[in-house]
Structure 1
Amino acid sequence: MALPDFLVIGAPKAGTTALHAALARHPALFMSAVKEPKFFLTDGPPPTRGGPGDAQTFREHVWRREDYEALFEKAPPGTLRGESTPFYLYDRGAQRRIHATIPDARLIVVLRDPVERAHSNWTHLWSAGLEPIGDVVRACAEEERRVAAGWSAFWHYVGLGRYGEQLRDLFKLFPPANVLVLRYRDLVDAPRATLDRICGFLGVETGVIAEVPRENVTAHPERTLRHQALSRVMRAGAAVGRHLPGALAGRLTESLEVALQDNGRPRRPLSWDERQALIPRFERDVALLHQVTGEDFSDWLRPRERSGGLMGDRPPGQRQARNGRPRLS
């Protein structure tokens, strides 16, 4: 059977797209052409209800077993096959399905400061015109209602960042030796060493790949009447699109996406007030994460970056670009 040997399972907005592209450059690794097939998120067809734009995402699910295996059929003999779906860590059903199907799978987890991750997630959807609330703190406060209404995981800004709970449950299924936990900041600050660590974990030659490809940092349109109007049209189009063929639905929203991003400035950093309002939502889980991994993540609960600069001095992507490092959205 053509199934993956390893999976990058989380977290969203923690550089998994860039990591997938980097690993694809290693001759001993074969990464699926579909970066995020989402196969293990369901036992069959994806849901039919969700939040704004979820219908298009559900169309992207590779949920049939034969289609999923086809993603790996062209892997050269002797290579390790892999895919990257960053929602697998968060979805407990996905964890169980992976274990039932590939019990010896090796799993790679990339963790990002949960407040920064939530903000990046919210910015992604706000910039696309799909997030109706123009304030990340208020949007996070809507999470329980959205979960109850069936909005997909990408809208779970807080839940996706509670890694302690997620890893606690994952380790009930997989031994720690099968799970590699990394920090997002290591991909940014030390890509060569981090990629070597991943290659060593997978049992392939180190020193072969040394760079993490650049990714575009999400633009942040101003909260103008024009953006609000286009966003309403985008959400209406997404609702209509669920009843249209995939290609037609894509054409319906493509021009709107371009217009929404037009003249968007770099991602707006978190303010002090926003960060301090969101930190309490993660405090207990950061303590649990320490218990589960034995590593200290208390820096995520401080209002300053590890370098000593204030949060919000400038967008993280700007600083990294000036230093010649990868910009990971």
Structure 2
Amino acid sequence: MSLPDFLIIGAMKCGTSTLQAQLAHQKGVFMSTPKEPNYFSDDQIYARGRSWYEALFADAAPGDLKGEASTHYTKLPTYPQTLPRMRAMLDAPRLVYMIRNPMVRAVSHYIHEWTEGRVGSDAREAFHATPEIAAYGFYGMQIAPFAEAYGPDRILLTSLEQISADPEAAFAEIRDFLGLPYGAAWVHDMPAQNVSAARMRRLPMQGLLIDNPVATSMRRALVPKALRNWVRARRTMTTRPDIPDDLQDRLKAEFLADRARLAELFPGHPALELCYPFAPS
């Protein structure tokens, strides 16, 4: 059967696109297209059926390790059916869960929501109206059901901080966990993927009015470049937003409570220190 041997299951805004690209570059590894099938999480995609999902891996060569990377799989409470569906199809997959400083991740997520036009520039209001911005960084809560279902030994916890500090060592751990050939190694000249340092805010009906060749040609012909640049700058968040101190304190307390749950599952893991610099010493 054409089913994956491993899945990168998140977390969102933690470098999973870069890791997926690194794995896809390795000999003997086949990664799905699209990168994020979101098959087990999204109802409309799951309705396409098992044959659709298997077809994503049908072109893998004999002996290839097959994988996919869907951050939706660790987005509770948004996608509650992910794990039951996965268990019904995959007996013992290897799971890679990539995390980062949850405060930094939350800010990156907030920027993402802002660029998509779903929240405004008031951070306090955005975090209140969109609790998922914090919830997707409750890593202990997100990964615990997978650990219970498959066992902690089927999960590799890693972090963006580990890869940034020592990509060779971090990737070697991933290589050994997945069973890649010993020569598989981090590719240094491959750029980071899906970087969101500066994103442009989407406009209502952008696909119809902005993102099409006719509109682009007319805009370039009729609107002076200086004015286009000014509008683009007004729609781009180029600096990290300020999070009010009291909101930061509340979020840090919640993240630290969740960190205790993560520590129970992965005691002594380096990510517990690297990803939580605000934890009391």
Q: Provide the residue aligned with 2:69 in structure 1.
A: 84
Report if the CA contact (8 A) 1:88-1:94 is conserved. yes
Q: Provide the residue aligned with 2:249 in structure 1.
A: 276
Bigger Rg over Cα: 2
Match 1:215 to one of 193, 199, 216: 193
Report if the CA contact (8 A) 1:122-1:131 is conserved. no
Report if the CA contact (8 A) 1:9-1:89 is conserved. yes
Report if the CA contact (8 A) 2:102-2:276 is conserved. no
Q: Provide the residue aligned with 1:131 in structure 2.
A: 118
Match 1:114 to one of 91, 95, 102: 102
Q: By how many angstroms is 1:127 displaced?
A: 2.4
Q: What does 1:25-64 align with in structure 2 at a 5 Å threshold?
A: 25-42=25-42, 44-45=43-44, 63-64=48-49
Q: Secondary structure at the match of 1:294?
A: coil
Runs of 4+ aligned residues of structure 1 deviating over 3 Å after TM superposition are: 61-64, 219-222, 250-253, 258-261, 263-267, 269-272, 274-277, 298-304
**1:260/1:110 CA distance change after superposition, 3 Å:** farther
The alignment's TM-score, normalised by the length of structure 1, stands at 0.69
Q: In structure 1, give the amino acid aligned to 2:15.
A: G
Q: In structure 2, give the amino acid aligned to 1:97.
A: R
Match 2:55 to one of 70, 88, 91: 70
Q: Provide the residue aligned with 2:139 in structure 1.
A: 163
Q: In structure 2, give the amino acid aligned to 1:289.
A: L
Report if the CA contact (8 A) 2:124-2:243 is conserved. no
**1:65/1:163 CA distance change after superposition, 3 Å:** same
Q: By how many angstroms is 1:133 displaced?
A: 2.0
Report if the CA contact (8 A) 1:25-1:209 is conserved. no
Count of residues in correspondence between the two structures:
257
Q: By how many angstroms is 1:208 displaced?
A: 2.3
Q: In structure 1, give the amino acid aligned to 2:232.
A: D
State the alpha-carbon separation in 1 of the partners of residues 111 and 59 from structure 2. Answer: 36
Greater Cα offset, 14-23 or 285-294: 285-294
Q: By how many angstroms is 1:135 displaced?
A: 2.8
1:268-320 per-residue CA deviation (whole Å, 9 max, x = no partner) reads 1655725334212323111211122113626655459xxxxxxxxxxxxxxxx
1:186-238 per-residue CA deviation (whole Å, 9 max, x = no partner) reads 1222112111111100111134231363235324479xxxx7xxx5x42xx27
Identity, in percent, stands at 30
State the alpha-carbon separation in 2 of the partners of residues 62 and 295 from structure 1. Answer: 40
Report if the CA contact (8 A) 1:3-1:72 is conserved. yes
Q: By how many angstroms is 1:171 displaced?
A: 1.3
1:153-180 per-residue CA deviation (whole Å, 9 max, x = no partner) reads xxx1111111111222111100122111
1:12 aligns with 2:39: no
Q: By how many angstroms is 1:185 displaced?
A: 0.7
Structure 1: runs of 5+ lacking an equivalent:
47-60, 145-155, 239-249, 305-329
Report if the CA contact (8 A) 2:10-2:70 is conserved. yes
Q: In structure 2, give the amino acid aligned to 1:68.
A: Y
Q: By how many angstroms is 1:252 displaced?
A: 4.8
Q: Provide the residue aligned with 2:218 in structure 1.
A: none
1:262 aligns with 2:240: no
Q: By how many angstroms is 1:32 displaced?
A: 0.6
Q: Secondary structure at the match of 2:66?
A: strand
Report if the CA contact (8 A) 2:120-2:126 is conserved. yes
**1:71/1:218 CA distance change after superposition, 3 Å:** same
State the alpha-carbon separation in 2 of the partners of residues 208 and 165 from structure 1. Answer: 32
State the alpha-carbon separation in 1 of the partners of residues 254 and 143 from structure 2. Answer: 18
Q: In structure 2, give the amino acid aligned to 1:276.
A: D
